[in-house]
Amino acid sequence: MKNRIIDKLTIPQIVVCIYLSLILSGAFLLMLPVSSQAGTWTNFVDAIFTATSAICVTGQVTLNTAEHWSAFGQTIIITLIQIGGLGFLTIWMLFFTIRGAKVNLKQRNLVLETLNLSSSYGMQDIVKNIVKVSLSIQALGALALSLVLIPRLGLSTGFFYSIFHSISAFNNAGFDLFGDSLIGFQDNSYILLTIASLVFSGGLGFIVWMDIISFPKNKKLTRYSKFTLILTGIILTISIIFIGLSEWRYGTFNHLSLGDQLANIIFMAVTPRTAGYANVDYMDVSHAGLFMTFILMFIGGSSGSTAGGVKVSTIGLVVMFMYRMFKGEEINVFSRHISYDNVKRAFFIIFVGIIMIISSSMILFITEEIPHGFGMEYILMEVMSCFGTVGLSLGLTPDLTVIGKVVLMLLMFVGRVGLMTFFWSLGGPKKESKVHYPEMNIMVG
């Protein structure tokens, strides 16, 4: 009976069901008295919000992670982050591979859908390499952080904090145990740049990383990796310059040395692309800086990574299409033609993303109260942050109404499973129409 139901579900529907099951399981564990420092039950709404934020590697919290959750609760959160970042199906397939069991076509397609890959060729090797690369980078990150955190916090606490923040940063989650994110480390460039490097690594994408690692041997990169690296470099450079100029003019980091100012600017340019760690109270950031942060949260990281957003390649493809359209040329990337279906998918993702942001913002404008001295940015920060699975806030999250929490949970969920996967899960199997009507033109513009 169970297999019959699963066989009737489409791949996107199975992916959505798996993520929902993980969220509910995590919420149940977080509700238990053992998960809170006070030893009391945590209400279901806050528990499921935290579980959703962890599985969707966001970092948006209604309860302070350092103050509310016990060591057990924090361990549950970091486990959910690791599962959400790598993908449950990646871990599940790794166990299959270790046991020597065969993986059928539907199971392969499930992994493809969660990792946003286009081909199942060498799937088991890809999964093993993804886990190796991810754990290696996180181990190096934890080691680097421990050099500062162990002398500061002691061996056991410093060790735990190092592992927690390395996993959280690499998976672009943004959960912290310091209570004020990384604001207390404004004058510690080493910590800021280490976390920023982990965030950047996780947001670059597993396939790109495997390409980079094999470069010394193969002496070449795939076209997708080159496309992604070039776009990432352009976006990062523009954001560093823009944020640097806006915050220098606003005087946000005037109390710091020149070196620390530069480290903070780089951090602000890297983390909004889905990490959610804050090195500054965003209430003290210029409007230009906030606007750039919104743009970076919408763009997100690379496809097949731990990052959210509409993805770098999606934006790059749309920009290239518009540029080529004005010149009357076909879309070609590195001597390869880009299909029209690929372009349609990119436009769909951006359009639906904008619609979700607008509709969610309208709901929150009605349900939530904006404090005196704030404007629309108070709501937009939460909405953009959850859509891009970032985790930055201007302070609204702990005071959200139940409706507001549900809206943001939906945004985080869609941001993690992917817009295409989520909306395809709402329909049945794809059917080819047998009727084709004549074309017509509709006046636009």
Beta-bridged to residue 36, according to DSSP, are: 69
pLDDT of 123 higher than 80: no
- Say which residues have a Cβ less than 8 Å from residue 258's Cβ, sequence separation at least 6: none
Tokens of 160: 């735990």
How many CB atoms are closer than 10 A to CB 355?
10
Tell me how far apart the alpha carbons of residues 161 and 105 are, in angstroms, rounded to a whole number. Answer: 40
Amino acid at 199: V
pLDDT of 445 higher than 90: no
CA dihedral of residues 236, 240, 242, 243 (deg, nearest 10): 120
pLDDT tens, residue by residue, 23-50:
999 999 999 999 999 999 999 999 999 9
Tell me how far apart the alpha carbons of residues 381 and 178 are, in angstroms, rounded to a whole number. Answer: 22
| Confidence grade of residue 337 (pLDDT, cut at 50, 70, 90) | confident
DSSP per-residue letters across 377-435? HHHHHHHHHHHTT----SS-GGG--HHHHHHHHHHHHHHHH-HHHHHHHTS-S----S-
pLDDT tens, residue by residue, 227-285:
999 999 999 999 999 999 999 999 999 999 999 999 999 999 999 987 889 999 999 99
The reported pTM is 0.89
pLDDT tens, residue by residue, 395-441:
899 999 999 999 999 999 998 887 777 777 676 565 666 777 888 77
- Say which residues have a Cβ less than 8 Å from residue 282's Cβ, sequence separation at least 6: 290, 293, 381, 392, 393, 394
Apex CA 76: angle with CA 72 and CA 77, to 5°?
A: 115
